[in-house]
Amino acid sequence: MKKIDKERLLLGIAAPVLAIVVAFLVTALVLAATGKEPFSAFGIMFDYGLKSDSQVYILNKATTYYLAGLAVAVGFRMNLFNIGVDGQYRLAAFFAAAVGGALTLPGALQIPLIILTAVIVGAMWAGIAGVLKVTRGVSEVVSTIMLNAIATAIIGYLLQQGRLGHLDEAGTKISTKPIPESSHFFEFPTTPSPVWGFIVVAVVAGVAYWFTLSRTRFGFDLRTVGQSGSAAEASGVDVKKMVITSMLISGAVAGLIGMPTLLNDSYEYSGDFPVGIGFTGIAIALLGRNHPIGIALGALLWGFLERGTGKLEFEGYDKEIVGVIQGVIVLCVVIAYEVVRRYGLKRQQSKVGAELAAQAARNNDQQEVSA
Amino acid sequence: MELRGITKRFPGVVANHDIDITVRRGTVHALVGENGAGKSTLMKILYGMQKPDEGTIAVDGEQVSFHNPGDAIARGIGMVHQHFMLADYLTVLENVVLGSEKLHGIGDRARARIKEISDSYGLGVRPDAMVEDLGVADRQRVEILKVLYRGARTLILDEPTAVLVPQEVDALFDNLRELKAEGLTVIFISHKLGEVLSVADEITVIRRGTTVGTADPKRTTTKQLAELMVGSELPSPETRESTVTDVPMLTVDGLRLSATDPDGVVRSVLDGIGFTIHKGEVLGIAGVEGNGQSELVDAIMGMRHLDAGVLTLDGDDISRTPTRKRREGGMGVIPEDRHRHGLLLEAPLWENRILGHVTERPNSKGAFLDLKGARADTERIVREYDVRTPGIDVTAASLSGGNQQKLIVGREMSHAPKLLIAAHPTRGVDVGAQAQIWDQIREARREGLAVLLISADLDELIGLSDTLRVMYRGRLVADADPATITPEELGSAMTGAATGHLEAPDESPAPKDTAPESAESTDTDPRNGGEDR
């Protein structure tokens, strides 16, 4: 059976690799169509993307993306499509920033408090969609999209002077009150710029995700619901409770997404806080096959693409090209996974059939014929 | 029609090899073989759904090759599937013309044609009835009419009697004889030998993917046919000695369950259900599918909220206990639909071994899974229950139906259940596995297991059960002693024609409205006596 395992691993890697290769080919065609030379563009991207300052940039970006991928993946494993990760992390980061700016406790106390605020806000916001789903049958796709819009409105309303907003000294930018220096997260003193310490939290979250899903009863129940709701129910899983629980977890992880930026970079929530990372998370979770290591690779790839194409702009290429690559990757990934999954299943079925037929022939035993 | 040397290989498996069949025009030709013998594959080849790797098909002396069902229909070959393909919310007329609008339009011309076909073969189909209002037998006749409407001269019927009660089977056979009298050819697939002998003009037996012989129904007994089919003595579900004790294991009292149908109307799907299963007893529930059996299983498992009634398992009231607690408390389940309720098809076997018992040893310790324990125990189940698989890391989907079922039975038996709910435990399972599953149920029963058996196979029900109940429209309308009851009597009770205690054929049945409670009080059979009270 070692053989089948190895094969499964190979098939698992085949899909994303195939998708990325196809994506680059399509991108090359697009570049060629716009009259640019595609391969020198890729050359620039790789050259620049592998420089040491780029490496730091990619790691920092990937930290955020990784958490986003995990948040989405928790839902995916449950067959829930949490599109609302975007709203959840923004709302969470906003309230966490507000709490952080309002208090001046020792860092050892205040940092956990800020993170906890974010986690709770994210979980609550996602929980609304979970409750609506189990009590009223509202599709989480619809409700989380709506909640994203509501989150935007709430932040817009509260981020004003006199409410939770704070005008900076120059009087040009409104943000939450900056978090005191004592509550900044630690950094790795790398050159030329530091790597955010929050990467450690991201790694811990990834390990926890892996362990919970594959080694605990709770994780088994969650995966069961994701694979077959009817079988899960018959096996004794309280599916409704599971929907709410997993939405809460997904939202809690989503709450962490804004933390690397908040605690390692911006120290406040303002109008230029990064947006749209929840959607990036969907792409990364898909790319990484909901696997903790796959998601990490996906997050790094995303960071690399952004870094590399940033440079392209200076070289006279259209920076939109990164969007094309990313979009095509996601599209290819979805198709490639389905193709590889079906192929793998079929292949295994026939393999099992072959092994059994051989066994039966040897024993001259009763033979199972697939009818 | 002639089939010569048909061979079909699937990767690694030869589903059909060297099949030779000659079907004469104007006859009913039966094709018999146990489940998994390759009948369905052969039919798919005949109907153009699959292409044979070798061999030839000739229709009326002319060699043909079908690429799709359309080709087969053009040659006058039509198929009535085991699972009906009808749209519930359309009328019979609409269902019949659907996809063949070009033949006779969709209006009065089509209606006239349907009436004409229906009358000439005695099908009794009403073109303007809604399909959802029709019973199983009527739906089947609509399916037959659909095929005839498309001009078929040869009809393939895939296990047409599986869903019918004996009386309906007789009616179907009358229809088939009409068709035959009109010069049509019927290919009839079945593994029910009695039926085959009564309706067929010729019989071809398939075993392990090849034709092993033909038989003349006039000079063959079911036993000879069975031996030809299995290649050895046929196993029987019969249980000899009784192991019933007087210790109640599961008591169901006054159970009522209602459901809202798609139109928003609340109707009760189960009403006034009451019975007791004792330790060591197998209680069989007979009934045409869809009369509340699935709901009863759901209710006992705790997947549905009861509207009224009390469930007691081994002395504990479990009416409000969640499913997981009930299963931990010793409830084993062999579900009716193993793909939907019993397996994670894309998960490996060892994860399927955990399914439903994740909180129990050897699958977990505390909150954590015990991968080593679960895997080792899966190996044991595979070995002891003879699950044919190359290993425990293959997905459940890659096993055959019989082996999937053996895995489920092994899993459920591994947790020393007090009560086993077995819904159609041997459906779609080959004869070898069937005998094993019966043995395991018998063995466990000897050790004091209580079994709720639901089955559409009347022989299985009568053979395994200690007590029999008949379910009709959500009520238990009759009870019977499996030692004396015949499948025909049971079948007639399943249509709602007989109620009360079914003792001997000449005894007048009790009035319908007094069943089931009053039926019990007149019960004098010592094995049934005291039950429910």
Confidence at residue B63, expressed as pLDDT on a 0 to 100 scale? 82
Angle at A213 between CA A211 and CA A214, to 5 degrees: 70
Taking an 8 Å cut-off on Cβ atoms, the answer to whether B15 and A369 are in contact is: yes
Exposed / middle / buried, residue B475 (Cβ in 10 Å: 0-12, 13-18, 19+): buried
Return the pLDDT at B506: 45
Tokens of B504: 């001997």
Q: Span B389-405, mean pLDDT?
A: 81
What phi and psi values does residue B389 have, to the nearest 5 degrees?
Answer: -150, 150
> Please, what is the angle between helix A140-158 and helix A85-102, to 10°?
30
- Per the CB < 8 Å rule, is B303 touching A227? no
Q: Is A281 helix (H, G, I), strand (E, B) or coil?
A: helix
B358·A233 Cβ contact <8 A: no
Q: Quick one: pLDDT at residue B292?
A: 83
Q: Is the pLDDT of residue B246 over 70?
A: yes
Check: CB of residue A21 under 8 Å from CB of residue B408.
Answer: no
Q: Is 50 exceeded by the pLDDT of residue B519?
A: no
Higher pLDDT, B223 or B324: B324
3-state DSSP assignment of residue A277: helix
Nearest to A131 by CA among A252, A225, A244: A244
Domains along chain B with CATH numbers: 2-230 (3.40.50.300), 247-330+418-424+447-522 (3.40.50.300), 331-416 (3.40.50.300)
pLDDT in tens, A4-35: 567 777 777 787 788 888 888 888 888 888 88
**A42 in a structural domain:** no
- Nearest Cα of chain A lies from the Cα of B343 at a distance, in angstroms, of 6
More confident position, A64 or B70: A64
| Mutation to test the A interface, candidates B35, B357, B358, B405, most A Cβ within 10 Å | B358
| SS3 at position A302 | helix
Q: Amino acid letter at B435?
A: A
Q: What is the mean pLDDT of residues A230-235?
A: 87
Distance CA B502, CA B483 (A): 11
Of A4, A223, A369, the CB nearest to B394: A4
Q: Omega before A192 cis (within 30°)?
A: yes
Q: Do B344 and A231 touch (CB under 8 A)?
A: yes
- Residue B203 — very low, low, confident or very high, per pLDDT cuts 50/70/90? confident
> Bridge partners of B251?
B276, B312
3-state helix, strand, coil in chain A (%, to 5): 75, 5, 20
Which residues touch B330 (CB under 8 Å, ≥6 apart)?
A: B313, B314, B415, B416, B417, B418, B419
Q: Please tell me the distance from the alpha carbon of residue B23 to that of residue B56, in angstroms, as a whole number.
A: 14
DSSP code string of A151-189: HHHHHHHHSSBTTTBEE-TTSS-EESPPPPGGGPPPEE-
**pLDDT score for A3:** 52
pLDDT value of residue B522: 36
> How far apart, in whole angstroms, are the C-alpha atoms of residue B238 and residue A79?
45
Q: Give A-chain residues touching B301 at CB under 8 angstroms.
A: 234
Q: What pLDDT, on the 0 to 100 scale, is given for residue A367?
A: 38
| Closest Cβ opposite residue A370 in set B15, B346, B351 | B15
Is residue B227 helix, strand or coil?
helix
Nearest CB among A5, A223, A235 relative to B393 is that of A5
Residue A316 lies in a domain: no
- A314 CA to centre of own chain: 29
Task: Report pLDDT for A361.
Answer: 60
pLDDT digits (tens, 9 = 90+) for B445-483: 888 888 999 887 777 888 888 888 888 888 888 888 877
Q: Kindly give the interhelix angle for A292-314 and A52-77, rounded to the nearest 10 degrees.
A: 140
A283 domain-assigned: no
- Cβ distance B324 to A238 less than 8 Å, yes or no, reads yes
Residue A136 has pLDDT above 70, yes or no: yes
pLDDT tens string B439-454: 888 888 888 888 999 8
| Subunit contact B342:A352, Cβ cutoff 8 A | no
> What's the pLDDT band for B526 if we cut at 50, 70, 90?
very low
Taking the alpha carbons at both ends of chain A, their separation in whole angstroms is 25
pTM for the full predicted model: 0.73
Q: Name every chain B residue with its beta carbon within 8 A of the beta carbon of A359.
A: 388, 390
Does residue A31 belong to any structural domain of this protein? no
Higher pLDDT, B266 or B96: B96
**Which phi and psi (to 5°) does residue A37 adopt?**
-90, 115
Residue B511: per-residue pLDDT:
42
**pLDDT over 60 (residue B523):** no
Mean pLDDT of chain B: 79
How would you classify residue B468: left for phi > 0, otherwise alpha for psi between -120 and 50, otherwise beta? beta
Task: Tell me if A235 and B400 make a contact (CB, 8 A cut-off).
Answer: no
Chain A contacts of B343, Cβ < 8 Å?
228, 231
Round to whole Å and give the CA distance between B499 and B502: 7
B215 compared with B264, residue with greater pLDDT:
B215
B41 chain-A contacts, CB cut-off 8 A: 371
The pLDDT of residue A75 is 92
Q: Which chain A residues are closer than 8 Å to B356 by Cβ? A: 234-236
Tell me if B11 and A354 make a contact (CB, 8 A cut-off).
yes
Please give the Cα distance from A115 to B496 (Å, whole number).
Answer: 66
Comparing CB atoms, the residue among B11, B208, B342 nearest residue A367 is B208
Which whole number is the average pLDDT over A112-128?
93
Q: Is residue A134 part of a domain?
A: yes
- What is the band of A118 on the pLDDT scale with cuts at 50, 70, 90? very high
Q: Which domain holds residue A228?
A: 70-276
- Lowest mean pLDDT of B59-63, B115-119, B278-282, name the range: B59-63
Residue A176 lies in a domain: yes
Domain assignment present for A298? no
Contact, A88 vs A120, CB < 8 A? no
Q: Which residues of A touch B (CB under 8 A)?
A: 1, 4-5, 214-221, 223-224, 227-228, 230-231, 233-238, 345, 348-357, 359, 366-371
Q: How far is the C-alpha of B387 from the C-alpha of B393, rounded, in Å?
A: 13
Tens of pLDDT along A154-192?
A: 988 988 877 787 777 777 788 888 888 887 888 888 877
For the segment A342-371, what is each residue's pLDDT rounded down to a tens digit? 887 777 777 776 776 666 566 543 434 333
What phi, psi does B307 have (nearest 5°)?
-85, -30
pLDDT of residue B502: 72
How are beta strands B28-32 and B202-207 bridged, if at all? parallel
Contact flag B324-A220 (C-beta cutoff 8 Å): no
The CA distance from A223 to A74, in Å, is 10
Whether residues B303 and A221 touch (CB distance < 8 A) is answered with no
Q: Pick the residue of A78, A366, A367 with the most B CBs within 10 A to test the interface with B by mutation.
A: A366
Provide the pLDDT confidence category of residue B509 given band limits of 50, 70 and 90.
very low
Dihedrals φ, ψ of A225, to 5°?
A: -60, -40
Residue A146 belongs to a domain: yes
Contact B389 A352 (CB under 8 A): yes
**pLDDT digit string (tens) for B337-385?**
888 888 888 888 888 888 888 888 888 888 888 888 889 889 898 888 8
Percent of chain A with pLDDT over 70: 94
Q: Best interface-test mutation with A: which of B388, B408, B411 has the largest number of A CBs within 10 A?
A: B388
CB-closest option in A1, A235, A236 to B390: A1
Question: Of the candidates B529, B453, B452, B479, which has an alpha carbon nearest to the alpha carbon of residue B246?
Answer: B529
**Which pair of tokens denotes residue B483?**
């030692």
Higher per-residue confidence, B221 vs B372: B372
Total CB pairs under 8 A between chain A and B: 154
Most confident of A298-307, B194-203, B310-319: A298-307
**Reduced to 3 states, what is the DSSP secondary structure of residue A60?**
helix
Nearest CB to B347: which of A227, A354, A359? A227
Average pLDDT over residues B513-532: 38
Give the total number of structural domains in chain A. 1
What confidence tens digit (pLDDT) does each residue in A137-152 have?
A: 889 999 999 999 999 9
Choice between A153 and A197, residue whose per-residue pLDDT is larger = A153
| Among A214, A236, A352, beta carbon nearest to B327 | A236
Q: Chain B: residue nearest A233 by CA? A: B303
pLDDT of B533 reads: 32
Of the candidates B273, B281, B234, which has an alpha carbon nearest to the alpha carbon of residue B256? B273
Dihedral sign, CA of B106, B108, B113, B114?
positive
Q: Which residue has the tokens 């829930």?
A: A80
A126 Cα to chain B: minimum distance (Å) = 25
ipTM at complex level: 0.80
Please give the pLDDT value at position A154: 92
- Among A71, A126, A90, A7, smallest CA distance to A288 is for A71
pLDDT confidence of residue B529:
36
pLDDT tier at A126, thresholds 50, 70, 90:
very high
pLDDT at B55 over 90: no
pLDDT in the model for residue B225: 73
Range with the largest mean pLDDT of A164-168, B190-194, B269-273: B269-273
Range among A62-71, A301-310, A362-371 with highest mean pLDDT value = A62-71
Residues of A in contact with B335 (CB under 8 A): 234
Q: Higher confidence at residue B75 or residue B239?
A: B75
Query: Which of A217, A345, A352 comes nearest B359 by C-beta?
Result: A217
Interatomic CA distance for residues B200 and B223, integer angstroms: 16
Helix, strand, coil shares, percent, chain B, to 5 = 35, 25, 40
Amino acid occupying residue B18: D
